[in-house]
Structure 1
Amino acid sequence: MIPFLDLKAQYSQIKPEIDAAVARVIASGHFVLGPEGTAFEERFADYCQTAHCRAVNTGTSALHLALLAAGVGPGDEVITVSLTFVATTAAILYSGAKPVFIDVDPLTWTMDPGLIEAAITPRTKAILPVHLHGLMADMDPIMAIARRHGLVVIEDAAQAHGAEHRRRRAGSIGDLGCFSFYPGKNLGAFGEGGAVVTHRPEFAHRVSLLRDWGQEAKYDHAIPGYNYRMDEIQSAILNVKLDYIERWTEARRSAAERYDALLSDLSFARPQPPRHARHVYHVYAVRLKGRDHALSALRDAGISAGIHYPVPVHLQRAYAELGYRAGDLPVTEMLANDFLSLPIYPELLPEQAVEVVATLRNAAAPRLSEAVAARVEHPQSVMTWSHNRRAS
């Protein structure tokens, strides 16, 4: 059996430290907004190369509060992508704004900056790029467009702890960055958790108020707020894990390099990060025609695999009222049909990666050959832009 993710193996490595941290919080009797949370916020802000961090209870809450702190509200529009978990869209709707979807780049699978300006209207307030699978979106042109039009940029970095774009960390380039610490994330809690990072003190202060019922002090409610606080046990656990995040990240990257080598004859079937990017491989996805057959074969062989994500948000029934239809985002839809996520985690053994790829080849060799030849139908100007960017 090869699991998709092995959290038990991770825990076994650091069990004494985790157990001691949890016991310390229990003995303290201080369970919310205490010293563990303050320490984690300071350390995670430093890790993300930002001035401020505010810990919250989920990644969804982080997105919601970042939008509100930036002044996004009813009547506004937020440009984002549909190739993401639904939380990205849900948070925009929670703020009262409308998500406006644009397509992704066919090589990096993240927001295509060449499509942003055509989506801007007088109601546009923010751009919300998603760093998918651990690879950051191309932030330089995104920021240039945002500054030109006076827009706020909020990074959805829920899958990108420690990822880099030209040596700048995820969350540090936009006006705000949002993280999830769901247990399966590269930096995961033992339950739910999230954080907002920013360089701007006014945004950090507003998130502080919003996460704690809008309180300036106890029972002094300056603004309407929410109960979005992170508890001290999760903060203590994350403080322990933060000591290991770089080691685990490099182990993930080594596992990804091993997959790359084993799949090296399958051109364009694998992630294509630009040379200036540090991909942290929260997910290692390949593109594969006949994906569902291969997924079944892997599972039959005792190998856990997944799809991130099989139905893009704009085609989810829950968001039909947004008015999108099949064909509106062709690259996104093609990738959703082809994606297959292979097991990846720091403890993945070399022989396990070999077994995964051997099973994949046996199940889908003809279809993999088709995937190599597959080409995306995409406007020529955007394809030219994409390839020029890859060379930079």
Structure 2
Amino acid sequence: MSKLAAFGGTAAVPKHRRRSEWPLVEDDDRKAVITVLDGARLVSDTDGENPVAALEQDWARQFGYGHCVAVSNGTAALSLALSALGIGPGDEVIVPALSFIATGLAPVHQMAVPVFADIDPVTFNLDPDDLERRITARTAAIIPVHLHGAPADMDRIMAIAARHGIPVLEDAAQAPGATHRGRPVGSIGAAGVFSLQVSKNIPTCGEGGLLVTGDADLAAAMRRGRQFGEVIEAGRERDYVSYGLGWNHKMNGLQAAFTSSQLTRFEDYERARQANIGAFLARLAKLPGIQVPTALADTTHVWHILRFRFDPAAFGLDGVPPEALRSTLRRLLRAEGVPMSQYQLMPLPDQKVFVDRLGFGVGHHPWALTGAPGTVAGEGYPVTREVIADSLTIQKRHLHPEAGDLLALYADAFEKVWAAGDMVATLAKAAS
């Protein structure tokens, strides 16, 4: 057995092999941005063809959406979609307890109360059974998240929503290109949102977001919302009249052109990623005590983040807290050159903004509008808490289409650490 790097041995992943760039910025991307800089159409309210409109058309055509609206970021997309759906004061919006903070904040921005539901232990997405238990007379929307790039159980979620007459807004921020039963995520509910933040599978050169829908009226409402409530149409002189509440959530032409250029390579990148990550996960799945990320049958996972769960019992650690094994494995794997990290240190309902109801004005709106008790740190959501306690993630390094060799070295590192199972157990017991 090779000596573990944490104790002076040679790391499985040499330092010179650890760098993996993402995003890849190619000459075509630079040319696309320079072309916009040399032109006169830098913003989305420019009359006629512009890079923002071109991205909207490219994205809709690539994935099969009826309408696409480009905005400044994914969080703005969530808020605009809720606004277009008529969500407002006194409403409740059900969101999963495990997600990025934006999913929970978006309802509050609309003066609606986020109601948290637990997750599935395998896909880490909204648990349909717990979702249905959380529905009340005030429930006005449901936001399933396709977390890490894995589609949520949209068949069951849509069936529940239909029974109660509740619209569904898909948070597909991490899942461009993912499909559910042959349909692209984002097209199944009333609307869907994507993030183009620089870490995403399809990035822009900074921040950006997209809304998609098959409803022309909803798309028009989203367009008004991103531009101060104004109506901006080709061939129509701008009148500077706000026809409804709006924001300044526009995307600029540089961001749009960069993403359009990246989009042309997405299919090639995605094929390479599926092959690389599939081979990597197949090796890890053979190790005892590790649950590798997976997806529902007849769905496509796009692997934005790779989350692994660890079982203490498989290491002979009955009674040892899962956090002790997690921290031990994190230390040992990082020493071998595998950048293991946590994603989300707590369930969303434990975030201070929700526990202390730090909303708007005196009286803690929107919670005061509904009489809702708010959340209490530590209550409920047992699966979310278990997943956070016993899992680690790999982020970004696997997105490079030529990361196959690096992932093979990562697999070597996992196998090396697992071969030292007695040492892992000793360290985990000490950590507990």
1:145 aligns with 2:167: no
Task: Check conservation: 1:159, 1:179, Cα contact below 8 A.
Answer: yes
1:319 aligns with 2:354: yes
Task: State the alpha-carbon separation in 1 of the partners of residues 125 and 284 from structure 2.
Answer: 22
> Offset at 1:5?
5.3
TM-score normalised to structure 2 length: 0.80
Report the counterpart of residue 346 of structure 1 in structure 2. 400
Q: Write the mapping of 1:254-293 to structure 2, written as runs, cut at 5 A.
A: 254-266=275-287, 269-288=291-310, 289=322, 290-293=325-328
Task: Check conservation: 1:286, 1:339, Cα contact below 8 A.
Answer: yes
Cα shift readout 1:236-271 (whole Å, capped 9, x = no counterpart): 011111111121122222122112221122466112
Cα shift readout 1:299-331 (whole Å, capped 9, x = no counterpart): 333432322223221122232133233241010
> Offset at 1:145?
1.1
* Pick aligned residue for 1:162 from 174, 177, 187: 177
> Offset at 1:4?
7.8
What SS does the corresponding residue of 1:221 show, helix, strand or coil? coil
Cα shift readout 1:211-244 (whole Å, capped 9, x = no counterpart): 0111123411111211100000010011111111
Task: State the alpha-carbon separation in 1 of the partners of residues 186 and 20 from structure 2.
Answer: 25
* Pick aligned residue for 1:61 from 71, 76, 98: 76
> Offset at 1:359?
2.2
* Pick aligned residue for 2:54 from 39, 48, 58: 39
Report the counterpart of residue 126 of structure 1 in structure 2. 141
1:328 aligns with 2:349: no
Report the counterpart of residue 28 of structure 1 in structure 2. 39
1:105 aligns with 2:120: yes
Task: Check conservation: 1:256, 1:284, Cα contact below 8 A.
Answer: no
Distance 1:368 1:186, change over 3 A: farther
What SS does the corresponding residue of 1:152 show, helix, strand or coil? coil
Report the counterpart of residue 114 of structure 1 in structure 2. 129
Report the counterpart of residue 239 of structure 1 in structure 2. 260
Task: State the alpha-carbon separation in 2 of the partners of residues 166 and 347 from structure 1.
Answer: 25
Report the counterpart of residue 220 of structure 1 in structure 2. 241
Report the counterpart of residue 369 of structure 2 in structure 1. none
What SS does the corresponding residue of 1:203 show, helix, strand or coil? helix
Query: RMSD of the TM alignment (CA)?
Result: 2.0
Query: Taking every aligned residue pair, what percent have the same amino acid on both sides?
Result: 35
TM-score normalised to structure 1 length: 0.88
Question: Which letter does structure 2 place at the counterpart of 1:283?
Answer: I
User: Greater CA radius of gyration, 1 or 2?
Assistant: 2
Q: What are structure 1's unaligned runs of at least 5 residues?
A: 371-392
> How many pairs are equivalent?
366
What SS does the corresponding residue of 1:7 show, helix, strand or coil? coil
* Pick aligned residue for 1:309 from 322, 344, 364: 344
Question: Which letter does structure 2 place at the counterpart of 1:357?
Answer: A
Select the structure that is richer in helix.
1
